[in-house]
């Protein structure tokens, strides 16, 4: 099953919000297939921003983190079609534009799941379902994925 990662997964894996969330995120990422796990380019931009602004890392260190994640997983580019789909998502479903870009990018890559703590659990659009990997009760699609 193809899936995409939202920014918070990578932020937590980088240890920005403490050890317990880091451990949970890293454990999750280790269980995912690198061939079927994608990172939207928007996520990498947001990760850079959070690492510099919130974590206080230098820009060079943040850049290294972005490069490492883009080496680990295929990156989904933000095309004009993705941006226009995101604008439609924002208009019709009230998503913030940058969250909508991430969801639209996941759909463009044929992902079935988007792992995110920030978006509405269970929201499905264009074949992509949002699942929160940090919730106590895992979404059925995420459970299925982790059992594979």
Going from the N-terminus, what domains does the chain have, and what CATH number goes with each?
3-147 (3.40.50.1010)
* Rounded Cα gap, residues 109 and 65, in angstroms: 23
Q: From the CA atom positions of the chain, what is the Rg in Å?
A: 14
- Written as tens digits, the pLDDT of the chain (148 aa) is 999 999 999 999 999 988 999 999 999 999 999 999 999 999 999 999 999 999 999 999 999 999 999 999 999 999 999 999 999 999 999 999 999 999 999 999 999 999 999 899 999 999 999 999 999 888 999 998 888 7
pLDDT tens by residue, 5-37: 999 999 999 999 889 999 999 999 999 999 999
- At residue 102, the pLDDT reads 98
- At residue 53, the pLDDT reads 96
**What tokens does 121 get?**
């659990």
Strands (E), 20-136: 37-40, 75-76, 113-115, 124-125, 128-131
- At residue 74, the pLDDT reads 98
The full length of the chain comes to 148
User: Does pTM surpass 0.85?
Assistant: yes
- At residue 62, the pLDDT reads 97
Decide if 14 contacts 51 (C-beta within 8 A): yes
């Amino acid at each position: 099953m193809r899936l995409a990662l939202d920014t918070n997964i990578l932020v937590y894996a980088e240890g920005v919000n403490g050890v317990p969330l880091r451990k949970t995120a890293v454990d999750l990422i280790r269980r995912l297939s690198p061939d079927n796990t994608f990172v939207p380019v928007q996520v990498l931009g947001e990760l850079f921003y959070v690492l510099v602004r919130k974590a206080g890392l230098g820009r060079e260190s943040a850049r290294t983190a972005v490069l490492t994640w883009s080496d680990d997983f295929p990156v989904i580019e933000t095309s004009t079609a993705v941006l226009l789909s995101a604008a439609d998502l924002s208009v019709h479903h009230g998503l913030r534009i940058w969250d909508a870009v991430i969801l639209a990018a996941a759909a463009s890559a044929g992902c079935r799941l988007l792992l995110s703590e920030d978006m509405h659990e269970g929201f499905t659009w264009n074949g992509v379902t949002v699942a929160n990997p940090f919730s106590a009760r895992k979404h059925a699609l995420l459970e299925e994925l982790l059992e594979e």
